[in-house]
């Protein structure tokens, strides 16, 4: 039978002891004396805390339902064909139940509202009315550094001709001599406030406007010292422009009479204006001043007012009986072409008589040829503006 038929022999009593001893020697059995386990103090504190806090009931079913609700939807089997009618019946109820509840407005501003524009912003822009270009007046400066060329006469009578056509007109007397003020029957020496206070002391221009045939911002002899008083003022070239902002929307035309120089007062007028009319006496010496005026105007366009331009050159005090006057007009037309107005202001005694009465020629003698000169000029200026 071989080795399978052999019977195990019973080990002698000494064998178990020897086996245990050998196991100890080889490290298979730990015979070291048992050490009593000591409890750490923090363990006792944790046990006391657990006893003090009531045990919270753990609902395994609800936990599993909340934790795996997404997984159940992800692995949800598609309904069978026979379930389609039932789904169709319950479709209306599901739509009613699935409507999201409106979020409550907690008053906090969202980041999207701060970064991106909302639709209301575009709606508001569309509703805003476009600025009306006719809301601001046409500001016309009458300038020529040569004196005695009918600047004051032209300023007043052209302004009154505009008023006869139904326009709202303001005249500004920027000449220290105050001739425009006197032409409306106002004594420059008796006015309490004048353009000096507006330009130097920043008084509102509405406080110095007097109503006559047209509204007029009066002047006084104090204007002679305005240039020195404004020499240390910042932005002194724009003093008149800033003052006009108060009343610019109340008028259709603002006509500025300038002094016979190209000083600070005239620069203020050209900076505030968008058009310049140059009265020129039909004489050689008067025409030479046009070159200097053009150079001054070019500097103002480059540095202060790029929109200002010459509206036209007006031949004044024309005496058609002299050859010199005719030659002067021909020289103007040859050099300036279309800039020369077709209207001509001829010499007339009415221009000298009207200021004595404190009125314009159009009021002093409405039917005279002198009054008609400026009515024709007003029509030409209005036609040029509309064109």
Least Cα distance to 218 among 249, 193, 200 occurs for: 193
Percentage of residues in the chain having pLDDT higher than 90: 52
Q: How many Å is the maximal CA-CA distance in the chain? A: 170
| All structural domains of the chain | 134-386 (3.40.50.300)
Over residues 278-302, the pLDDT tens digits come to 999 988 877 777 888 888 899 999 9
DSSP 8-state symbol, 164: H
> What is the pTM (predicted TM-score) of this model?
0.65
Q: What pLDDT is recorded for position 89?
A: 46
Angle (CA) 197 199 203, round 5°: 50
Least Cα distance to 159 among 178, 142, 136, 182 occurs for: 142
CA dihedral 323, 326, 332, 338 (to 10 degrees): -160
Over residues 45-98, the pLDDT tens digits come to 667 766 765 555 555 555 454 444 444 444 445 555 545 545 544 555 555 455
Q: What pLDDT is recorded for position 19?
A: 53
């Amino acid at each position: 039978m071989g080795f399978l038929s052999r019977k195990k022999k019973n080990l002698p009593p000494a064998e178990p002891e020897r086996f245990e001893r050998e196991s100890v020697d080889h490290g298979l059995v730990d015979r070291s004396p048992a050490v009593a386990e000591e409890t750490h103090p923090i363990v006792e504190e944790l046990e006391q805390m657990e006893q003090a806090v009531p045990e919270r009931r753990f609902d395994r079913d609800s936990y599993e339902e909340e934790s795996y609700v997404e997984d159940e939807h992800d692995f949800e089997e598609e309904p069978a064909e026979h379930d389609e009618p039932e789904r169709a019946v319950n479709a209306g109820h599901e739509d009613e139940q699935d409507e999201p509840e409106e979020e409550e407005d907690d008053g906090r501003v969202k980041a999207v509202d701060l970064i991106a524009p909302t639709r209301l912003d575009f709606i508001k822009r569309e509703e805003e009315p476009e600025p009306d270009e006719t809301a601001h007046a046409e500001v016309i400066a009458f300038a020529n550094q040569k004196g005695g060329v009918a600047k004051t006469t032209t300023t007043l009578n052209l302004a009154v001709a505009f008023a006869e056509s139904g326009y709202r007109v303001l005249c500004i007397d920027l000449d220290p001599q105050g001739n425009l003020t006197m032409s409306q029957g106002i004594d420059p020496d008796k006015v309490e406030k004048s353009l000096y206070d507006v330009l130097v002391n920043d008084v509102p221009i509405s406080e110095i406007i007097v109503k006559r045939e047209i509204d007029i911002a009066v002047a006084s002899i104090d204007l002679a010292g305005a240039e020195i008083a404004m020499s240390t003022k910042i932005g002194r070239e724009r003093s008149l422009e800033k003052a006009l902002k108060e009343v610019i929307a109340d008028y259709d035309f603002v006509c500025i009479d300038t002094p016979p120089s190209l000083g600070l007062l005239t620069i203020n007028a050209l900076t505030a204006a968008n058009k310049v009319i140059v009265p020129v006496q039909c004489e050689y010496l008067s025409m030479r001043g046009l070159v200097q005026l053009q150079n001054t105007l070019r500097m103002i366009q480059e540095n202060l007012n790029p929109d200002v331009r010459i509206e036209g050159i007006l031949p004044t005090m024309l005496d058609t009986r002299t050859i010199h006057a005719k030659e002067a007009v021909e020289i103007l037309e040859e050099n300036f072409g279309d800039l020369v107005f077709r209207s001509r202001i001829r010499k007339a005694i009415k221009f000298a008589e009207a200021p004595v009465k404190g009125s314009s020629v159009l009021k002093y003698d409405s039917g005279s040829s002198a009054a008609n000169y400026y009515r024709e000029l007003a029509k030409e200026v209005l036609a040029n503006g509309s064109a």
